[in-house]
C-alpha cells in the first residue's frame, strides 16, 4: 500500500495496474526476492487499469462518490485471513493449578 495521501476516509488513492518489460536477470530476481525491482529511467510501461487502492473500484466508477474502503486497516481487529484465531484453552501446563501441582510432585525438580 502506498501512503501518498493522508488516511482520510472518503478520499480515493489511485494506483495503476501496469506491465513493465524486464530482462531475464530481473525476472529471476523478482521471482526469488521480495518481488520488488528497479527499472531504468524513462522506461515505458503499459497501464491496464486505474483503480482506487482502498475500495478497488475503477476510476470511472469512483467519480463523484466518497471512498467506501477502509483507510486504517492496521487498526481494525478481527479474525481476517492472516490473523491467527484466539486460543480456546490455555496452553498445557500454564494454569496456576497445574504449576502448583508440578511444584509439589517429585518430578517438579526436573522443571527448574
Q: What pLDDT is attached to residue 80?
A: 54
Tell me the pLDDT tens digit for each residue of 47-95. 999 998 888 889 898 888 888 876 555 444 555 555 665 667 777 777 8
Q: What pLDDT is attached to residue 75?
A: 46
The model carries a pTM of 0.48
The pLDDT confidence band at residue 32, using thresholds 50, 70 and 90, is confident
Q: What is the DSSP string of 62-108?
A: HTTS-B-S-S-GGG--S--TTSPPPPSSPPTT-SHHHHHHHHHSGGG
Contact partners, residue 91, CB within 8 Å, separation at least 6: none
Domain boundaries, the chain: 9-72
Q: Is the per-residue pLDDT at 3 higher than 80?
A: no
| Contact (Cβ atoms closer than 8 angstroms) between residue 37 and residue 26 | yes
Amino acid at each position: 500500500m502506498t501512503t501518498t495521501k493522508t488516511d482520510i476516509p472518503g478520499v480515493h488513492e489511485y494506483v495503476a495496474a501496469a506491465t513493465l518489460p524486464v530482462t531475464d536477470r530481473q525476472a529471476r530476481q523478482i521471482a526469488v526476492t521480495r518481488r520488488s525491482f528497479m527499472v531504468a529511467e524513462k522506461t515505458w510501461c503499459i497501464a491496464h487499469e486505474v483503480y482506487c487502492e482502498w475500495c478497488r473500484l475503477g476510476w470511472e466508477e469512483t467519480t463523484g462518490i466518497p471512498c467506501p474502503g477502509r483507510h486504517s486497516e492496521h487498526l481494525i481487529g478481527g479474525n481476517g485471513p492472516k490473523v491467527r484465531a484466539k486460543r480456546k484453552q490455555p496452553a498445557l501446563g500454564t494454569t496456576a493449578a497445574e504449576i502448583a501441582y508440578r511444584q509439589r510432585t517429585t518430578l517438579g525438580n526436573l522443571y527448574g
